[in-house]
Amino acid sequence: MNPAISVCQVASSRVQHDTVTGPAIVVRALEREFGERKALAGVTFEVREGEIFGLLGPNGGGKTTLFRILATLLPPTRGIASIQGHDVVVDPAAVRRAIGVVFQATSTDKKLTSLENLIYQGHMYGMSGASLKKRAMELLERFGVADRAGEYCEKLSGGLRRRVEIAKGLLHGPKVLLLDEPSAGLDPGARRELREVLEGLKKDGTTVLLTTHFMEEGAMSDRVAILDRGLIVALGKPDSLCAESGTDVISVRSREPVKLKEAIAAKFQAPVSLLDGQVRIERSRGHEFVPQLVESFPGQVEAVTVSKPTLEDVFVRKTGRSFVEEPAPAAPKKGH
């Protein structure tokens, strides 16, 4: 962030943002290459004003690269990205004034109190004095940590530190909040609390874009883009994506899964796959099919589960692979 940004500049940028009538975020044919490796291979989507938009994908899918481009930390190789009408390459300063950013790695200084962390952040925006302290306390109150304002951040739980970080990101009043893996390292209870915080931001009209590899976090977004190897393989409302196939997902455990897979495909003329050592079948009215399946292959079926499709099943259907974290790509060399 530019430490020379004044309170007037921040206020002025907020007024300009309020007049934007198009999408909050626009991405068109975005590509990013690191040498011969293509991290993004032509990504296109829009994020509407006031929605929670999830970028879901395994490590190596491209979501962090995309996040860094939107945060003006990394230029694209080709394509266009804009936030609140400002191009991330042409006018990065305006983009920075329009966004709040919360990174995956903690950004709070553990040796400062919650309030001191926000005061320090405010100074980077040219804010100061009683108005800055008032704004900081309002945000700490809003996110339920006002009673810990004087407590050192090293003593706070991961969930409370994340709340302080979100408050920091919103200190200058941005209309768009970018969150990189916001629930990474949090326990289930803290994740639930984070979802409540994000719903509150949505009610206030803040546009939220988050990256995640947690299915439940993707499922709670208004819309989600599933990224894999630099491409968007699915985009839409989570419920609609899950319901696209109109089938149930049947998983069968067997001592000889390869043999059983081939036998099921031959007998029922149905698409069958092998995933994580289990036979996977997509079929409508799956609960009615299970007895027929067990009777047809006595002794070969050890266990059967029937479930409705999830976002993970959407990923499998689109890519033919399980949603597994791939090794993180090597850091790019200087100049890439």
| Residue 328 CB-density burial (10 A; 0-12 exposed, 13-18 middle, 19+ buried) | exposed
111 confidence band (pLDDT: 50, 70, 90):
very high
pLDDT in tens, 270-298: 778 888 899 999 888 889 999 999 999 99
Share of the chain above pLDDT 70, in %: 90
223 has pLDDT over 90: yes
Q: Specify the pLDDT at position 186.
A: 79
Averaged pLDDT of the chain = 87
77 has pLDDT over 80: yes
Q: In 3-state terms, what secondary structure has residue 3?
A: coil
235 has pLDDT over 60: yes
Contact yes or no for 224/311 (Cβ under 8 A): yes
Q: Specify the pLDDT at position 48.
A: 96
23 has pLDDT over 60: yes
258 confidence band (pLDDT: 50, 70, 90):
very high
What is the arrangement of strands in the sheet containing 272-275, beginning at the earlier edge strand? Answer: 272-275, 278-283, 248-253, 303-307
Q: Specify the pLDDT at position 189.
A: 81
Long-range CB pairs of 317-325 (<8 Å, 24+ gap) are 317/245, 317/282, 318/226, 318/228, 318/233, 318/234, 319/228, 319/233, 320/273, 322/275, 322/276, 323/58, 323/213, 323/215, 324/58, 325/58, 325/59, 325/60, 325/213
1 has pLDDT over 50: no
336 confidence band (pLDDT: 50, 70, 90):
very low
What is d(CA 226, CA 234) in angstroms, rounded to the nearest whole number?
A: 5
217 has pLDDT over 90: no
21 has pLDDT over 80: no
Mean pLDDT score, 122-131: 92
* Choice between 130 and 331, residue whose per-residue pLDDT is larger: 130
